[in-house]
Amino acid sequence: MTNASVREFKMPDVGEGLTEAEILKWYVQPGDTVTDGQVVCEVETAKAAVELPIPYDGVVRALHFPEGTTVDVGTSIIAVEVAGGAAPAQEEAPAAPAPAAEPERPAEQPAARQPVLVGYGVATSSTRRRPRKQAQDPAAQQAASAVQSELNGHGAAPPAPAAPVAPAAPTSSAAPAQRPLAKPPVRKLAKDLGVDLATVTPTGPDGVITRDDVHAAVAAAQAPRQAAPAAQPAAPAAPAPSAAPASYDSVRETRIPVKGVRKATAAAMVGSAFTAPHVTEFVTVDVTRTMKLVEELKQDKEFAGLRVNPLLLIAKALLVAIRRNPDINASWDEAAQEIVVKHYVNLGIAAATPRGLIVPNIKDAHAKTLPELAASLGDLVSTAREGRTSPSAMQGGTVTITNVGVFGVDTGTPILNPGESAILAVGAIKLQPWVHKGKVKPRQVTTLALSFDHRLVDGELGSKVLADVAAVLEQPKRLITWA
């Protein structure tokens, strides 16, 4: 009844044909107590980053892989000692991670979990945090400190032997009493910027570290570095070293492993570029009236609380063009050698994130009103920026828009998102001299580029779609007359 057993928690089947995932962050260390449904780590697949809950109660005995390691599905990543006598009915659950349908649970525990990965879920209230132990076994403290120092690469604690059995003398300064509190996107930001969260002063509620706290820590670290040259005016004849960026001081090259979302994107783009015969057409258009309409919609009560920008009307213009030329909304079935015309539009929006380029899409965008489309665009962008885009949100797209204009670029030749027929690139909107009503006047002008798969879209069809998008943006009243 009281015997304890060690269970190995394996990397779950993430589905969608994916066979591996990278461990981004461990939220527990050896010696920590875990409960059923508690998130123990964050992993990144080729689709997105997700938090991984553990399906039973116990004490962490070992972490088998450090952060940054790519692990195959089915490989054990953490060992947990489970007490056999605490809850006999539940501790006899299958050794594999618990499926979605769980055995009966006591009334005081959460009744259900919402799926994140196949067969897994997060706790009903993901914001609740378990109490942290104020004191740990000295050996566990030293081992946890060593693992954390090694994974962070620049932790405050000096490296210590990672052997969990050596009873080292207590060193209360070697490890903090508890792990800093921060949400997964903030932890990823800190990791990307090389910031140790243990050194960051939190300003959020209940001591939670925010994005602003991380950026403040970066600024504070850079301030002494920038002030150092002024404090040492030793050799005014050689200003070149101080003029070089800090990253060039000691390292001439940096190698960045390509994995996760970035690796999947690279493979997909290569496959698309060398599988689908791309054709790109361009058109430059006066969008002055569209820009005026954007300003008017911002004042409309129907759009209160919604983000209204040129991309909203460009997306609507493309949807109108697809409705007038439905054959462009298709895909190529290589196995059957058939063209599959879609009678729905899942509109993809290319988004640049810290993890690389992703293309989530708005499901059934063709059926949405303009306010509904604005709300969907706003949700899509904010979710992508926070790193919370789900794998399902990036699947099933039919056509895509990429807004390179936000970077000040006039236009480009976009590569098709795999499985889609067309992608529209939108350039920067600039005030330029334009012939309007027989006179040269300053007008708001942009350049559009449409790439399409020439196996299923010929030049005539592609030209009609691009011309229709341009016509709507030049005369936005066509959103009514052509709808």
Cα dihedral sign for 87, 92, 97, 100? negative
Residue pair 422/462 in contact by the 8 Å Cβ criterion: yes
Sorted by sequence, the CB contacts under 8 Å of residue 97 that are 6+ apart come out as 9, 10, 12, 54, 55, 119, 120
Strand partners, 351: 358
Read off the DSSP letter of residue 104. P
Kind of pairing between the strands at 439-453 and 278-286: antiparallel
CA 58 to chain centre: 31
Token pair of 142 as six digits: 């030293």
∠ at Cα 420 (416, 422), nearest 5°? 60
Task: Name all contacts of 245-248 with Cβ < 8 Å and 24+ positions apart.
Answer: 246/222
Following DSSP, what letter does each residue of 189-253 receive, concatenated?
Answer: HHHHHT--GGGPPP-SGGGEE-HHHHHHHHHHHHHHHHHHHHH----TT--HHHHS-GGGSS-S-
- Amino acid identity of residue 223, one-letter, is A
Mutual orientation of helices 370-385 and 310-324 as an angle, nearest 10°?
120
Phi, psi at residue 292, to the nearest 5°? -65, -40
Kind of pairing between the strands at 49-53 and 39-44: antiparallel
Token pair of 358 as six digits: 């992703």
Is 454 annotated as catalytic?
yes
Q: Is 356 left (phi over 0), alpha (psi -120 to 50) or beta?
A: left
* Alpha-carbon span 286 to 436, nearest angstrom: 9
Could you tell me how many residues make up the chain?
Answer: 483
Following DSSP, what letter does each residue of 119-164 receive, concatenated?
Answer: T-EE-S-TT--PPPPS---HHHHHHHHHHHHHHHSS-SSPP----T
How would you label 36-48 residue by residue, b for 16+ Cβ within 10 Å and e otherwise? bbbbbbbbbbbbb
Which of the residues 215, 278, 343, 454 is marked catalytic? 454
Rg (alpha carbons) of the chain, rounded to whole number:
27
Residue pair 62/30 in contact by the 8 Å Cβ criterion: yes
Token pair of 415 as six digits: 């590569």
Phi, psi at residue 354, to the nearest 5°? -55, -25
Residues taking part in catalysis:
454
